[in-house]
Structure 1
Amino acid sequence: MTFVTGPEVPDVVDRIQAEWAKAYPDLDMRPIGILGRIQHIATAGNHRLDRHLEPHGVSRSEYDVLGALARSPRPLRASEVVSTTMLSGASITKITENLARRGLLVRRKSERDGRVVLLEPTDAGRELVDAELPRRLADDEAALAGLSPHERESLAALLRKVSVAVHV
């Protein structure tokens, strides 16, 4: 994967921002330069992830659920998966039923409270996450390769502020 870096290299967001500024010259289009790039980076990363997950027969949302379960030291309730994946409760139910049918996670009743369903990955589900996570991190590392450690820390801190401001 090749990434061109540097402020002298225009990107698609520069073009879009200029088009908006020309069409609406009285409006400040600077937010597009920031949030447009965040959206562009997220879209590109999601597209790459989708391509890599396709051979596994798993969607990005399914992978997000498996990832939440794989990184937890204990089985999780569906509501806990909702809070860590940003998926809706209804979609978690559908996704976990589908993953259970395919042998990638187990749904079982809590011993303490039979009304509570606990979720945990099967060995096959964990193997899928174990196989995909290093490749995903390598893609992310390649995208950030042009940034110094200080730039990475600064960018993370600034994006954290934006993330907190838009938290839903």
Structure 2
Amino acid sequence: MTAQHPLDRVARIQADWHRERPDLDVSPQGVIGRLHRLADRLSEELRLVYERYGLSEGEFDVLCALRRTGEPYERAPGELAAHTMVTTGAMTKRIDRLERAGLVTRRRADDDQRGRIVALTQPGRELIDQAFTDHIHNEHRLVSMLTPAEATALQGLLTTWISRTEDPRPPDGK
């Protein structure tokens, strides 16, 4: 059994369930519950940077998706939705807000007059370059709470686990 912090809410919840339902193995809560708590805490820490630049998490994602395409920093709205894992309806709202702020523009696609292209403006590029720099510094700060070996091990475990949830075939490939 792993050592638990005296304020570990997940351990307390597990103890309550063990007392109330000793017939159930609640050990998965030790992993899933802690991942949920950690994800919530990390999201709070990441949002502090986005908010410093007047951005929501979703708007930050859109600007990053445009910036990392390289020049001319543009994509169709459907591509942006795919690269940020949101619906096209949600993407439209984000683009509207970013366009009003002067961070992106929309134009008709050259090869398809029905299609649209979203492009990063110069102010949008300057903003996301600074925001992303601060974001990466913040991520380094958060990950530095682990030793390099712990961070490497965790990255490997999470990579394995997420690949198995996204492609749930058994490890033998059948």
TM value normalised by structure 2: 0.80
CA–CA separation in structure 1 for the residues paired with 2:17 and 2:137: 35
Say whether residues 1:41 and 2:56 are aligned partners: no
Partner of 1:89: 88
CA–CA separation in structure 2 for the residues paired with 1:148 and 1:49: 20
Deviation at 1:19, TM superposition (A): 3.1
Equivalent residues in 2 for 1:42-121 (5 A)? Answer: 42-73=39-70, 74-121=73-120
Going from structure 1 to structure 2, the CA distance change for 1:103 and 1:31 (only over 3 Å counts) comes to same
Alignment-mate amino acid for residue 5 of structure 2:
V
Unaligned runs of 5+ in 1: 1-5
Partner of 2:170: none
Which structure has the greater CA radius of gyration? 2
Alignment-mate amino acid for residue 81 of structure 1:
L
Deviation at 1:7, TM superposition (A): 4.9
Contact 1:70 1:120 in 2 (8 A): no
SS in structure 1 of the partner of residue 36 of structure 2: helix
Alignment-mate amino acid for residue 35 of structure 2:
I
How much identity, in percent, do the aligned residues show?
33
SS in structure 2 of the partner of residue 107 of structure 1: strand
TM value normalised by structure 1: 0.82
Contact 1:53 1:60 in 2 (8 A): yes
Write the deviation string for residues 102-131 of structure 1: whole angstroms up to 9, x where unpaired. Answer: 111111111111122111221222222222
